[in-house]
Structure 1
Amino acid sequence: MIEIARIQAWAFRSPTKRPVATSFGVMHDRPAVLIRVEDRDGVFGWGEAFANWPAAGAEHRVRLLQMDIAQLVLNKPAATPAEFFHQLADQTRIRAVQCGEVGPFSQVLAGLDIAIWDLAARRAGLPLRKFIRQDAADQVPAYASGIQINAAAEILPAARMAGHQRFKVKVGFNMPTDIALVHDVQTDLSGEETLACDANQAWNLEQACAFVDGVAGLPLHWLEEPMPVFTDRTKWQELARQSSIPLAGGENIIGVPEFGKAIDAGHLSVVQPDVAKWGGITGCLAVAQQALRAGRRYCPHFLGAGIGLVASAELLAGVGGDGQLEVDFNANPLRTMFLDGEKEPIIRGAWQCSDKPGLGVEALPNDITQFQTLHVDLC
């Protein structure tokens, strides 16, 4: 039985010299919401809630946890992390709909779920991946992400030096320029290297088809979110029929039923839920298993701080399959401070998992306090 006696949450903001640009907006700092839970025996766990958008999101998520959700968790026993997750989802559903904030509630629940899974795995003395599946691998394929296409020529050499062999570039800014630069990047890749593209929901069907036509013949690994998640499913299916490039998506889908509809519709070859955005370990594990059963690839989406990245790696290893771990290659101390040597453990294109219990995170790094904007301690 798990009974949470204490919850702590922090909002952080790290300045960035190079803003992170997407087709729909620019991040001018790197925010993070980190959550620590502790049971009555002093066993603890760490989690992370999505906070990239809107710009004021990080502090809002901490206050949402403090004032609306914590009382539903503290001193409320549950047999498993999954039981906690489903109880909270049921208890907060009307609140989330009432205020039109399904996303923020989902994100806080995701962070709590990660923390409770970490606690449970730590209590069992197992790395999270081994807690999920006893024979989980100790490394997973990874790729360097968050690379704006205009900066790819500068960034890819550094990503190679860091051990990466797979890359994903952000497109959706200017169609002719994007297409020309994708051709240039692909031409410069070696035989073992791969390239994927992420449009961040930039286009309608006609524009997405134009991009697909413009990069025809290139062996792109996948095309991620070419259209908004709310685009009619028949248009997604039409694009999938016209595209020789596998389509990817999932970071903006909420709920196992909605993922099930997308998987059954057949247009997504690569399914990408985000552990910090919806579902935590509980929800994303269910979706990953569903995707694998349907013959799809599970590749977790993630663009945040270090705890969520490690959770994504452990979940991917625990699930198995031929998925790849997304590793943001933009500078972000809120990510690298949590990693030994302050760099990602990438060797020959693979993330090396830790043998420590749970997520392997014991405490916040000392230097992280300089970025703190809010802290709450609840018991």
Structure 2
Amino acid sequence: MIDIKTVECFVFRYPLTEPVVTSFGTMRDRPMVLIRLRDADGVTGWGEIWCNFPNVGAEHRARLVDDVFAPILLRETFHDTESAFNKLTGLTRILAIQTGEAGPIAQCIAGLDIALHDLAAKKDGLPIWKRLGGDRNQVPIYASGLSPDRPERLAEAALNDGYTAIKLKVGFGLELDHRNLRTLRDLLGPDRQLMTDANQAWNIEEACYAASSFEEYGLSWLEEAIPADRREKEWAQLESVAPMPLAGGENMAGDDVFDAAIAHKALSVIQPDLAKWGGLSKCVPLARRIIASGARYCPHYLGGGIGLVASAHALAAAGGDGLLEVDANLNPLRTDLVGDMLSGSNGMATLRESPGLGVEPDLNEFKKYLVPHS
């Protein structure tokens, strides 16, 4: 039985000297929303809510937790983590429709679910990956978040840190995209993995042309080449001409949506973001369905340390040959929270055997990045 007695939300912002650029917007700082739950026995659980966009998103998500979800958690008891996810979703379903904020509400539930799993696994004395049925504590990783302005700088640093796979942001004009891809392929050599992420930059005609033009680089996948909500026939059209596997999933939500994508088979790499929708309760079973279908489960993640560690637990629990996304940009809200998970990586992340997530944030270390949200 889960009986929550305190719900706390913390908003952090790490200022960037070099913005992170995507085809649809620019991040000028790195935000993070952490949740700390404490139950009747004094056991704590930590979670993280996706909040990258828009720029006011972090404070908004935190206020949703304070105003909407904390009262529910404090008055209800739950049989287990899955029933908590279902009840939180059910009790806010009409609110999500009324406000048009299905995304932010789902993101809050996802972060709370991570915290509930951390708490429950601590009480069971097991790491989350093992509690959810995993048999390994290591998962392969790749370096992500390489923007179009001289991405070789981050790529070189990542290679020096032991990474063997790199993902580049594209969608900034084919001349620049090709220049960057050529530079990175030369840097990586023929055997290391190179992926691309267009962040929904193109229409179907542009995407088909770009994908065909990228053939020479031997890409492991092309991610979100068209908007995530485009019709199945457009994804099928792109899949029929693309010389590399297609990837997507970070902007999908709901079992029905993911199951339709699995059945359609245009995506060879499916990438749910557990801090954006589903948490561990939904994303680990989904990951197993993805793997059983013959596709790859590669969790999307670009945030702070708690969500990254949770994503690693999900991948370790689900199995398969997928890769864990790790942002290559400087962000102490990530690196100072993951403990030794990425130390001496050699292309792998190593999870601890300690109960729960295996990390316990020391808020004093991050107080200079703490911002008010009320």
Bin the TM-score by the shorter chain. Answer: over 0.9
C-alpha change, 1:348 and 1:191, in structure 2 (3 Å) is: farther
C-alpha change, 1:304 and 1:174, in structure 2 (3 Å) is: same
Q: Distance in 2 between matches of 1:160 and 1:333?
A: 19
Q: Distance in 2 between matches of 1:238 and 1:223?
A: 14
Shift of 1:176: 2.1
Which residue is equivalent to 1:146? 145
Q: 2:111 is aligned with what amino acid?
A: G
1:8-157 to 2 correspondence within 5 Å? 8-133=8-133, 135-157=134-156
Q: Distance in 2 between matches of 1:371 and 1:344?
A: 22
SS for the counterpart of 2:216 is coil
Q: Distance in 2 between matches of 1:328 and 1:195?
A: 15
Shift of 1:363: 3.2
Which residue is equivalent to 2:205? 206
Which residue is equivalent to 2:281? 282
Shift of 1:138: 1.4
1:338-353 to 2 correspondence within 5 Å? 338-340=337-339, 344-353=342-351
Q: 2:310 is aligned with what amino acid?
A: A
Question: Is the 8 Å Cα contact of residues 4 and 39 (structure 2) preserved in structure 1?
Answer: yes
1:214-229 to 2 correspondence within 5 Å? 214-229=213-228
Shift of 1:44: 1.1
Q: Distance in 1 between matches of 2:372 and 2:115?
A: 19
Q: Distance in 2 between matches of 1:61 and 1:159?
A: 31
Shift of 1:365: 4.0
Deviations 1:319-355 (A, max 9, x none): 10001000001111111121336x8335211111112
- Gap regions ≥5 residues in structure 1: none
C-alpha change, 1:30 and 1:155, in structure 2 (3 Å) is: same
- Larger displacement relative to structure 2 (171-180 or 46-55): 171-180
Q: Distance in 1 between matches of 2:190 and 2:352?
A: 30
- Larger displacement relative to structure 2 (214-223 or 165-174): 214-223
Q: Distance in 1 between matches of 2:44 and 2:179?
A: 50
Question: Is the 8 Å Cα contact of residues 49 and 110 (structure 2) preserved in structure 1?
Answer: yes
Shift of 1:20: 0.6
Shift of 1:189: 1.4
Q: Distance in 2 between matches of 1:256 and 1:27?
A: 30
Q: 1:345 is aligned with what amino acid?
A: S
Q: Distance in 2 between matches of 1:346 and 1:254?
A: 34
Shift of 1:287: 1.5
Q: Distance in 2 between matches of 1:157 and 1:27?
A: 22
SS for the counterpart of 2:151 is helix
Q: 1:336 is aligned with what amino acid?
A: T
Question: Is the 8 Å Cα contact of residues 337 and 365 (structure 1) preserved in structure 2?
Answer: no
Deviations 1:169-192 (A, max 9, x none): 101111222023212311321344
C-alpha change, 1:192 and 1:346, in structure 2 (3 Å) is: farther
Q: Distance in 2 between matches of 1:244 and 1:181?
A: 19
| TM-score, scaled to structure 1 | 0.96
SS for the counterpart of 1:6 is strand
Q: Distance in 2 between matches of 1:49 and 1:19?
A: 21
- The answer to whether the aligner puts 1:237 opposite 2:236 as a matched pair is yes
Which residue is equivalent to 2:159? 160
Which residue is equivalent to 1:374? 372
Shift of 1:218: 2.5
SS for the counterpart of 1:217 is helix
Shift of 1:14: 0.8
Q: Distance in 1 between matches of 2:121 and 2:245?
A: 35
Question: Is the 8 Å Cα contact of residues 81 and 116 (structure 1) preserved in structure 2?
Answer: yes
Which residue is equivalent to 2:270? 271
Question: Is the 8 Å Cα contact of residues 256 and 286 (structure 1) preserved in structure 2?
Answer: no
May I ask how many residue pairs the two structures share in their alignment?
374
- Larger displacement relative to structure 2 (184-193 or 118-127): 184-193
Shift of 1:375: 6.3
Question: Is the 8 Å Cα contact of residues 8 and 375 (structure 1) preserved in structure 2?
Answer: no
C-alpha change, 1:374 and 1:136, in structure 2 (3 Å) is: farther
Q: Distance in 2 between matches of 1:14 and 1:188?
A: 30
Q: 2:291 is aligned with what amino acid?
A: L
Question: Is the 8 Å Cα contact of residues 154 and 329 (structure 2) preserved in structure 1?
Answer: no
Q: Distance in 2 between matches of 1:366 and 1:70?
A: 24
Which residue is equivalent to 1:251? 250
- Gap regions ≥5 residues in structure 2: none
Which residue is equivalent to 1:331? 330
Deviations 1:172-223 (A, max 9, x none): 1112220232123113213441100000000011111111121123210100
Q: Distance in 1 between matches of 2:338 and 2:291?
A: 29
Q: Distance in 2 between matches of 1:364 and 1:104?
A: 26
Q: Distance in 2 between matches of 1:340 and 1:298?
A: 24
Q: Distance in 2 between matches of 1:9 and 1:137?
A: 32
Give the % identical residues.
44
SS for the counterpart of 1:169 is strand
| TM-score, scaled to structure 2 | 0.97
SS for the counterpart of 1:188 is helix
Question: Is the 8 Å Cα contact of residues 275 and 281 (structure 1) preserved in structure 2?
Answer: yes
Shift of 1:302: 0.3
Q: Distance in 2 between matches of 1:185 and 1:333?
A: 26
Q: Distance in 1 between matches of 2:348 and 2:323?
A: 9
Which residue is equivalent to 1:180? 179
Q: Distance in 2 between matches of 1:123 and 1:147?
A: 39
Shift of 1:286: 2.3
SS for the counterpart of 1:151 is coil
